[in-house]
Amino acid sequence: MSEENIFSEVDEELRSERMRNLWRKFAPWVFGAIILIILAVAGKEVLTWYKNDISATSSDQFYAAVEMAEDGDIAGAQLALSQVISDGSGQYPILAQFRVASLLLEDGKVKEAIAAYDALSASLSNQRLRELALVFAAFALVDNSEVSEVEGRVSGLLGLDNPFRNIAREAIGLSQFANNDINAARQTLELIALDPFANNESMGRVQIYIAQLISLGAEAPQVISDSDPITKVQ
């Protein structure tokens, strides 16, 4: 193997790792955006939850468990959340189930976390919360499965009237990248860039993703002009 080929392979590997690091960097913002979307969509119901439960001890129990987790006491947090799930009032048991699933994921128990999210998506009565569970399951699968498994969770969320459509596209695009289909990933993520209702945070991430994919050899978008920031981000 020539010296030129060696340097070329090293450079490609570094760019691939750079793309993966971008996803790891953006992941918390993605999940934060998901929460903001569900709060906006189900704002009336969330407000009702708080009104119904404002005097309940479930609120204190839930947030105490969240603080335990943030302080590193995962076992204590799981135990406290289990109590909220079994004895809590209003919608706090559901919030606790979501937090338990996220703790499993943080603890590296990916299969268990996905199973927990899938169970929520199958059992909840609120449509948006079911969809939220599917989105979380899809992102948990990004680095650990075939694209078809991610699509199986979120393909039903891609309709133009669904508020989760761009988050779903992002999960699919990242899964396509993780499975080395960089052209498919670029095409999927470009749909977000072309969505006039995509928020600024999503648009910024996608522009960087697409620039990195192009640097890895993906075909450049045909519909985006030379003046678009996607073609300028390095």
- Could you report the per-residue pLDDT of 119-177, keeping only the tens digit for each? 999 999 999 999 999 999 999 999 889 999 999 999 999 999 999 999 999 999 999 99
Pairwise pLDDT comparison (61 vs 148), residue with the higher score: 148
Pairwise pLDDT comparison (53 vs 21), residue with the higher score: 21
Range in 36-40, 181-185, 200-204, 220-224 with the lowest mean pLDDT: 36-40
Please report the pLDDT score of residue 4 as a whole number: 46
- Could you report the per-residue pLDDT of 166-216, keeping only the tens digit for each? 999 999 999 999 898 999 999 999 999 999 999 888 888 888 889 889 988
Please report the pLDDT score of residue 149 as a whole number: 96
Identify whether 136 is part of a domain. Answer: no
Whether residues 112 and 61 fall in one domain = yes
Pairwise pLDDT comparison (113 vs 9), residue with the higher score: 113
Whether residues 38 and 153 fall in one domain = yes
Give the total number of structural domains in the chain: 2
Whether residues 65 and 102 fall in one domain = yes
Whether residues 9 and 51 fall in one domain = no
User: With 50 as the cut, is the pLDDT of residue 55 above it?
Assistant: no
Whether residues 29 and 54 fall in one domain = no
Model pTM? 0.73
Please report the pLDDT score of residue 88 as a whole number: 83
Whether residues 104 and 62 fall in one domain = yes
Range in 10-14, 42-46, 187-191, 209-213 with the lowest mean pLDDT: 10-14
Identify whether 18 is part of a domain. Answer: yes
Q: Which residue in the block uniquely carries the two structure tokens 């590193």?
A: 72
Please report the pLDDT score of residue 231 as a whole number: 38
Identify whether 64 is part of a domain. Answer: yes
Give residue 176's domain range.
1-42+147-234
Identify whether 132 is part of a domain. Answer: no
